[in-house]
A and B are shown apart, each in its own frame.
Chain A
Amino acid sequence: MLKSNLYQEEQFPSPLRQTWYEFRKSHLAFIGLCILASITLIVILGPFVTPYSPLTQNTDALLVPPAWDGNGGISHVLGTDGLGRDVLTRVIHGSRVTFGISVFLVLVAMLIGVLIGAFAGMNTGMRSSILNHLLDSMMAIPTLLIAIIIVAILGPGLVNSMWAITLALIPQFIHYTRDFVRTEVNKEYVIAARLDGASPARIFVFSLLPNMVEMLVVQGTLALSIAILDISALGFLNLGVQSPYAELGAMLSEGLDIAYIAPWSIAAPGAAIFIAIISINVVGDGLRSALRNRLKY
């Protein structure tokens, strides 16, 4: 076989690229990533494509079954709900809220968590251990419970539930960042950077953060699936997004009353949550094993 590469040079991939090669080896994880990418695409582009508004009620087409049913029609692919709203449109808009807000919340929680965690990790003594033990004990309580408690105090509503979930997600980022910083900060490359005259903040940003990216990605995916579940759970309990706005959890609870007559009205949002969470978890798992395998070489 004639190779175009004359000097059989082997390319040494960078750490990130190597992770990607390892990740691609697992087909399941790759499929998960594809699904995740298409969900993201639908969520971003969906509202521009859908012909209906998620809120317009249509009394002419109440409880129309999905297209594949004998009584259904192609105009409402996933049927309509009890108020004649198109289910597909509502699922797309609902995913936008659930998915979009979760991503936003995870990013905010990550930012705050990493900042506090870095502070706790780079410091020693009283300040660090107070942060550590206080927040570690928070991790013992499920995030949903914390979120419900916070919402119970602040009152229901989308913004309040966003606050609640962000606060509930922060401790785990603090914990992992602090652990990471603690183990790395005494390694010789950090000491070398310190001897170069770098300030603690600079050491963290330029020496530690590049090594932390992968850990953050893995933790981020885990947090994302938790956030999606929590948002839809709060919506389902009528503590989060209030009707008539579309949100997957709220749609589930609305559809619950007519579940026997119109099962599609809960099947569609349920399936959306299911697919989103399973693909995120598969991707997270794939990433973690890719990172583990990468370290073998």
Chain B
Amino acid sequence: MTALLTVKNLKFKRKVRKNWWQKAEKFVIGPINFELNAGETLAIIGDNGSGKSTLANLLAGVVTPSSGQLLLNGQKLRHRNLKQRSLNIRMIFQHSKESLNPALTVGTILDEPLKLNTNLDARERKEKISTTLRQVGLLREHAHFYRHMLSDGQRQRVVLARALILNPQVIVADEPFAALDPSVRSQMVNLLMRLQRELGLSYIFISHNLGIVRHISDRVLVLQNGKVIESGKTDVVFNWPKSDYMKKLLTAHQSLVLSKLLD
């Protein structure tokens, strides 16, 4: 069986120049290789600055990689072709507030991807918007709302609706829970898992909440300084970590969970 998404030798280089007389510093990610099966959740963990957000951006097409390729069902995804990509891979950003346009209603925001990527007429689009809104646990009336009228949790649902509306196969989520309060976060986690069961979605998601990573992911990818230092099944990585970084991370996490901070 071929994997749904195959990432081969994906590399990204960026030169960071502080002053024009200084030598440019290079920031390199990769080469990154992994495979993602349908209905699977892959979690990416790592330090700040380890390149996990950039990796998410690479996958979603926000930035173009320097080399390497992405294969979807064995078919190559061209980096510049956002239309092709947006039908298959969609992204959810960390700040739900910033990722919704303040001057547009939810309905207009959801309408845009449909207008650009499908041939539906106005009535069908409206129908699709209301079914998608209901799918993520909102009401059809929310289409008339503006960003500032919604709470954090509702906004995150709208963002999810925008991702879902094109029936993608993969959703890339960059810290989708970080800005949410605990009681709302659980709702969101449940919603994502329910959608995965119902629609067979694959998720690639970035988080530094190890508890949630452990709970919802099937496989884990650990990044450090732009390199994959460990990857494997969640169970295996969490119980028998190989890299020093992961060991340290898990000890810190365990010390929090078991309240043995000073031992």
Contact = CB atoms under 8 A, between A and B. Distances in A.
A155 interface: no
Given A197-B83, A197-B86, A210 B103 contact: yes
13 contacts: A12-B149, A14-B146, A15-B148, A187-B99, A188-B94, A189-B98, A189-B101, A191-B62, A195-B82, A195-B91, A197-B116, A207-B104, A210-B101
Interface of B: 60-62, 82-83, 85-86, 90-91, 93-95, 98-105, 112-113, 116-117, 145-146, 148-149, 162
A293 to B, nearest CB: 14
Nearest to B105: A14
B164 to A, nearest CB: 13
A193 to B, nearest CB: 6
A207 B115 CA distance: 14
A9 to B, nearest CB: 12
Contacts of A211: 101-103
A196 interface: yes
A210 to B, nearest CB: 4
Contacts of B90: 195
Given A12-B149, A15-B146, A189-B100, A197 B117 contact: yes
Nearest to A202: B116
Contact of B93 (A14, A188, A198, A207): A188
Chain A contact residues, majority secondary structure: helix
Nearest to A193: B112
Contact of A188 (B85, B99, B103): B99
A196 B116 contact: yes
A206 B98 contact: no
A153 B11 CA distance: 58
Contacts of B85: 195
A207 B146 CA distance: 14
Contacts of A194: 62, 82
A69 B93 CA distance: 73
B98 to A, nearest CB: 4
Contacts of B117: 196-197
A192 interface: yes
Interface in A144-198: 187-189, 191-198
Given A188-B98, A195-B90, A211-B102, 16 more contacts: A12-B145, A12-B148, A12-B149, A14-B146, A189-B99, A189-B101, A191-B62, A192-B93, A195-B60, A195-B86, A195-B91, A196-B82, A197-B86, A197-B113, A210-B104, A213-B103
B112 A195 contact: no
B165 to A, nearest CB: 10
A297 interface: yes
A15 B93 contact: no
Contacts of A188: 93-95, 98-99
